Amino acid sequence: MMDLPFIAVMILIMLGISAAVLKRNMIKIVMGVSISASGINLLLVALGYREGGVAPIFTNAPAAQMVLPTPQALTLTSIVIDLAVTAMMLSFVILMYKHYGSTDSRKRRLSG
Amino acid sequence: MMAFLLQHAPPLVIALPLVAAFAMPMVSRLGARAVKAWALLSLLATESLVLLLGRDVMSGNPHVYALGAAIPSLTTPAGYPIRIIIEVDAMSAFMAMICASISVLVCMYSLQYVRKKGGQDKYYTLLLLMTAGMMGLVCTGDLFSMFVFLELLSVSSGALIAFYARRGESSEAAFKFMVVSSIGALMVLLAAGIFYGQYNMLNLAAIGGMLRFGFLDKVALVLLVAAFAMKCGAVPMHMWVSDAYGEAPAPVSAFLVVASQASLYALFRVCFTLFGVAAATEIMGWALVVLGMLTMFIGVTMAIPQKDIKRLMSYHAVSQTGYMLLGVGVCLAVLGNAAALGSFGITAMQGGLFHVVNHAMYKGLLFLAAGAIIYRTGTRDLNKLGGLAHRMPLTAIFFLIGAFSISGLPPFNGFASKLMIYESVFRFNPLLSVIAMLTSILTLASFMKVFHSAFLGPELPEYRGVREMPPAMWISMGILAVFIMLFGIFPDLVVQYLVGPASQALLDRIGYLGGVL
């Protein structure tokens, strides 16, 4: 049971990467990258989970040991970066759609 | 004052371009001249700080700087380190000096090259952000920060590749670049997560010290190597390089070469410092050697039929990356064998690292020369160009210097580093050395074709009004050309004062780990 979150996370990452590699629609490629990014965020959160641990919020915490908040900090940073990357890629898709009139990755000019 | 600056230089070299980038929207209210002056001045300040830091580090004095703690070795009561470490050893300083120097020249060249109305402040903001990303990537001692700076570098370079957004191709190249680099960066993050799950640490040195090299560590090694090899443009994933370098504005292409080399640095850091001898270095080394050979040969063969001048140069950039992978890969393959390491391993690595700095210079010069041609003629098609040497003699000379250097002809710097690679690799495996030489000959042939079709021949009527490039452009190219000559004439001094300490630092795993713990 302990490994269940990790297996789910790996499936999510694989799904995302396979979508990014196999799909022809550029919006779906962006979605694939975004899904695998979420998978990795979930992995980080799952790594930081301690059963019965105390959340590291100073105002309400009892004077006991708290969970080290590093994984949560990593996840927050990574979410912000994912947002920037996704927005960036979508804006490129918009520009290409304006230019070529399609989101199909086969209708492009750079090759060889 | 100097001592204070030197003490705080490691975070400052990252913070300075970053702050300058975010101050840019305010500076841009003062007009276009202020934007350019601000960008150039802040990059010059970064460069001087890096040189100050580099001089100290190269004299055998690595800097370890802890953010968020008074002393680097502070831990929680349970023994987990809680701090962000910036560790600058000679290898990091070597890369930081390359990045900072090229950034100044690229900025200077851009002052006149980038004429697009309304986008100037964004261009220089992104250029400063790219510099900050590279500085962070080469200076940090923390796996997660490595991911953050890698993403900062990718996002800002992606935006710069698509700078001419009215062309559909540049968005296409930028999209391809972003997909490849974000998947690469996610692999780095996954590896960081795997390490954190096992050791509760993210610090490179601390993980390196505790490494057990179990199954999960092997998975992390594969992820990291694949990610950084993807980002530096090694062969199975080289397809983004030709698009991105080819479609970006010329000074950005010259800067992207250095960005790829920052990823190459990360690859070497992971192989030598994080894993080191414990991690089956012979297999890893051979993997890098095979990647290098494929990169070298496939890159050059793809370059030969190209008709677009910048696309052709991009494939040559791919091919030259192969030399660095080959040199350093040979050293990694013999890392466990002290006799072989002493007799040719270290020379191979020095050749590879020397090629890194040489490549940054001559490839930069070539891309800038291509930029000068595009700036004056407005075309990149080699079939349409011709006879430009009549009107642009200076560009022709700079182009020839770059072309001779990339093909490894004496007395230019490419010859010095390639000779070191050839002779050391020959003792490892003669066949590899022969293929490397063959690649050089093909490179020379390809560049002679470009020189012939762009510069030689009778003057074409449509280029009668073409003039020589403006001063800011030829000054920055001239500086590069002078350094190419100097590095080619005095390679022993460069190896002694720059490359030698860098390779020593990369081999000195215990020293890097001991800097933190």
State whether A85 and B175 contact (CB < 8 Å).
no
- Domain residue extents for chain B: 280-517
In chain B, which residues have pLDDT < 50? Answer: none
Residue B144 in contact with partner chain A when CB distance is under 8 A = yes
What's residue B128's pLDDT?
96
Closest in B165, B200, B246 to A95, CB measured:
B165
- Helix axis angle for B120-139 and B250-269, nearest 10°, is 20
Q: Are A30 and A90 in contact (CB under 8 A)?
A: yes
What tokens appear for B63 in the block?
A: 């800097």
Residues of chain A contacting residue B78, judged by C-beta atoms under 8 Å apart: 68
Nearest CA-CA partner of B205 in B143, B135, B256: B143
What's residue B515's pLDDT?
75
Residue A49 in contact with partner chain B when CB distance is under 8 A = no
Among A6, A15, A85, which would you mutate to test the B interface (most chain B Cβ atoms within 10 Å of its Cβ)? A85
Distance CA B335, CA B275 (A): 12
3-class DSSP assignment, residue B65? strand
Residue B80 in contact with partner chain A when CB distance is under 8 A = yes
Number of helices (H), then strands (E), in chain B: 22, 2
**pLDDT of B315-330, one tens digit each?**
999 999 999 999 999 9
State whether A92 and B76 contact (CB < 8 Å).
no
Residue B182 in contact with partner chain A when CB distance is under 8 A = yes
Who's near B405: CB < 8 A, 6+ residues apart? B358, B361, B362, B365, B412, B413, B414, B415, B484, B488
Looking at the complex, report in whole angstroms how far the Cα of residue B38 sits from the nearest Cα belonging to chain A.
Answer: 26
Residue B219 in contact with partner chain A when CB distance is under 8 A = no
State whether A85 and B172 contact (CB < 8 Å).
no
Instruction: Give the fold, CATH level 3, of A4-49+69-100.
Output: Helix Hairpins (1.10.287)
What's residue A109's pLDDT?
73
Residues of chain A contacting residue B179, judged by C-beta atoms under 8 Å apart: 20, 29, 33, 89
Q: What is the pTM of this model?
A: 0.94
What's residue A111's pLDDT?
66
Q: Decide if pLDDT at A112 tops 60.
A: no
Residue B216 in contact with partner chain A when CB distance is under 8 A = no
State whether A74 and B192 contact (CB < 8 Å).
yes
State whether B196 and A71 contact (CB < 8 Å).
yes
**pLDDT of B179-209, one tens digit each?**
999 999 999 999 999 999 898 888 888 888 8
- What ipTM goes with this model? 0.94
Residue A88 in contact with partner chain B when CB distance is under 8 A = yes
Buried b (16+ CB within 10 A) or exposed e, B11-28: bbbbebbbebbeebeebb
What's residue B85's pLDDT?
86
Buried b (16+ CB within 10 A) or exposed e, B345-373: bbbbbbbbbbbbbbbbbbbbbbbbbbbbb
State whether B186 and A40 contact (CB < 8 Å).
yes
State whether B190 and A13 contact (CB < 8 Å).
yes
State whether A43 and B155 contact (CB < 8 Å).
no
**pLDDT of A35-58, one tens digit each?**
999 999 999 999 888 887 777 777
Distance CA B246, CA B261 (A): 17
pLDDT band at A62 (very low <50, low <70, confident <90, very high): low
Residue B52 in contact with partner chain A when CB distance is under 8 A = no
What tokens appear for B507 in the block?
A: 């081999």
- Domain residue extents for chain A: 4-49+69-100
What's residue B332's pLDDT?
92
Buried b (16+ CB within 10 A) or exposed e, A31-53: bbbbbbbbbbbbbbebbbeeeee
Looking at the complex, report in whole angstroms how far the Cα of residue B218 sits from the nearest Cα belonging to chain A.
Answer: 17
**DSSP at B460:** P
Closest-approach residue (CA) in chain A for B304: A112
What tokens appear for B501 in the block?
A: 């300490």
Residue A15 in contact with partner chain B when CB distance is under 8 A = no
What's residue A60's pLDDT?
65
Closest-approach residue (CA) in chain B for A26: B175
Residues of chain B contacting residue A47, judged by C-beta atoms under 8 Å apart: 193, 196-197
Residues of chain B contacting residue A79, judged by C-beta atoms under 8 Å apart: none
**DSSP at B85:** E
